[in-house]
Amino acid sequence: MALILAVTRRIIEADTFLRAGRYTGWRLDLLLGTGLQGKTLGIVGYGRIGRAVARRALAFGTTVVASDPGFDGDDEVAAVPFEALLEVADVVSLHCPLNETTRGLMTAASA
């Protein structure tokens, strides 16, 4: 969740900006980033860790979808095919083992 927040809120970019001495004063749109509320998080691999990330994301008001062969969906998280997950997710979080089936899962050729 920390990495997701760091990317969506532009934390690393803001830190670099500040340390480089480029800050000259507050502006409404200065490194604003985006929140997670109303966004969709796609979780690939809905085991113990994927479920823990989903619980945290739901607390931020995020819609969560998951792609996992052993998951049929529940009251809070919809089960979707991998391709559909990539289409609807604003952020994708991977929680699957690296093996021959998952190697290259997120390459341009797989899209």
Instruction: Give the predicted TM-score (pTM) of the model.
Output: 0.84
Residue 111 has pLDDT above 70, yes or no: no
User: Which burial class, exposed, middle or buried, applies to 62 when counting CB atoms under 10 A from its CB (0-12, 13-18, 19+)?
Assistant: buried
Q: What pLDDT score was predicted for residue 33?
A: 87
Structure tokens at 83: 């391709």
92: left (phi over 0), alpha (psi -120 to 50) or beta: beta
DSSP single-letter state for residue 101: T
pLDDT tens for 11-32 read 999 999 999 999 999 998 899 8
Contact between residue 54 and residue 77 where contact means Cβ atoms under 8 Å apart? yes
More confident call, 33 vs 67: 67
CA distance 82 to 31: 32
Residue 109 banded pLDDT, cuts 50, 70, 90: low
Q: What pLDDT score was predicted for residue 10?
A: 92
